[in-house]
């Protein structure tokens, strides 16, 4: 019984078989899925998937790479757009939001740091107003992410750090705040030593399973299109690192995810 807490099934790479793939997930033991937005359009698609598939919940928001979309709209219009998305009873969180400074020299159209930070703060305040949990994206931006989260409330915020990619020391700071860490295919990679150390260090009760599909397929499928049916490989590696059974990993992470997204066992 697995909960994939971070997916992008609206991606065009699923276009030809999206419905059949989604319908196959419960049969494969994937009983809950969170469809996560990266901009307003993909957030609307996440809500649409959630409203037509009872085992899917939606997470809506604007990724730091799309922060210029929010900037162009302004606070009032962007807030109204989020209001329409969160009005759905199938919306369970705000995300993915945060900071991404990776490749600033290579991508001149990337949102400037001040713009990313502005809309990160806005969406943290929005999730607090709506009493929804938040899904954090942070890449090459550890210090600023930590600072802004602390300014917004730190341990008072229900957050998961999606695709966690920092060292054990940074993990400790967030774990001490009571946050969750999203663990996916990278933990199976031979060069994933840093994440393996984090998983060994952290309590199982703070782990959320995720794919980030179609990205980051686990070994032995690295480089291929990912989907939730590959999560047992992640479960197996976490079980090995924690010296527990795969069944325990599934049971505990299921409970973690249901708690984080504030869902009940009964499907709507």
Tokens of 141: 């931006």
In whole angstroms, what is the distance from residue 10 CA to residue 1 CA? 23
pLDDT tens by residue, 115-164: 999 999 999 999 999 999 999 999 999 999 999 999 999 999 999 999 99
pLDDT value, residue 104: 85
In whole angstroms, what is the distance from residue 30 CA to residue 261 CA? 16
Full pLDDT tens readout for the chain, 268 residues: 999 999 999 999 999 999 999 999 999 999 999 999 999 999 999 999 999 999 999 999 999 999 999 999 999 999 999 999 999 999 999 999 999 999 888 887 899 999 999 999 999 999 999 999 999 999 999 999 999 999 999 999 999 999 999 999 999 999 999 999 999 999 999 999 999 999 999 999 999 999 999 999 999 999 999 999 999 999 999 999 999 999 999 999 999 999 999 998 776 6
In whole angstroms, what is the distance from residue 81 CA to residue 77 CA? 6
pLDDT value, residue 128: 98
Q: Identify which of 265, 134, 108 has the alpha carbon closest to the alpha carbon of residue 208.
A: 134
Neighbours of 117 (CB within 10 A): 20
Q: Which helix (H) or strand (E) element contains residue 78?
A: helix 67-86
Tokens of 59: 């997470």
User: If 0-12 CB within 10 Å is exposed, 13-18 middle and 19+ buried, where does residue 190 land?
Assistant: exposed
Q: What are phi and psi of 177, to 5 degrees?
A: -85, -5
The distance of Cα 145 from the centroid of its chain, to the nearest Å, equals: 15
What are the structural domains of the chain? 2-261 (3.20.20.140)
């Amino acid at each position: 019984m697995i909960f994939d807490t971070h997916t992008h099934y609206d991606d065009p790479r699923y276009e030809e078989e999206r419905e059949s793939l989604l319908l196959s997930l419960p049969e494969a033991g994937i009983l809950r899925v969170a469809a996560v937005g990266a901009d307003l359009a993909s957030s609307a698609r996440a809500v649409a998937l959630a409203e037509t598939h009872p085992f899917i919940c939606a997470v809506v928001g604007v990724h730091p790479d799309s922060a210029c979309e929010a900037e162009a709209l302004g606070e009032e219009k962007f807030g109204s757009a989020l209001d329409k998305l969160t009005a759905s009873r199938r919306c369970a969180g705000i995300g993915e939001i945060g900071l991404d400074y990776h490749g600033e020299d290579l991508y001149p159209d990337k949102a400037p740091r001040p713009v990313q930070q502005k809309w990160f703060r806005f969406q943290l305040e929005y999730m607090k107003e709506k009493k929804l949990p938040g899904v954090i994206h942070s890449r090459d931006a550890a210090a600023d992410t930590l600072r802004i989260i602390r300014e917004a409330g730190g341990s008072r915020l229900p957050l998961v750090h999606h695709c966690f990619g920092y060292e054990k020391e940074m993990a400790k700071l967030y774990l001490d705040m009571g946050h969750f860490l999203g663990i996916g295919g990278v933990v199976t990679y031979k060069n994933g030593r840093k994440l393996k150390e984090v998983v060994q260090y952290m309590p199982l009760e703070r782990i959320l399973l995720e794919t980030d599909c179609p990205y980051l397929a686990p070994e032995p499928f690295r480089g291929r299109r990912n989907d939730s049916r590959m999560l047992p490989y992640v479960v197996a590696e976490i079980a090995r690192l924690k010296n527990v059974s795969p069944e325990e990993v599934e049971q505990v992470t299921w409970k973690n995810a249901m708690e984080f997204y504030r869902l009940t066992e009964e499907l709507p």
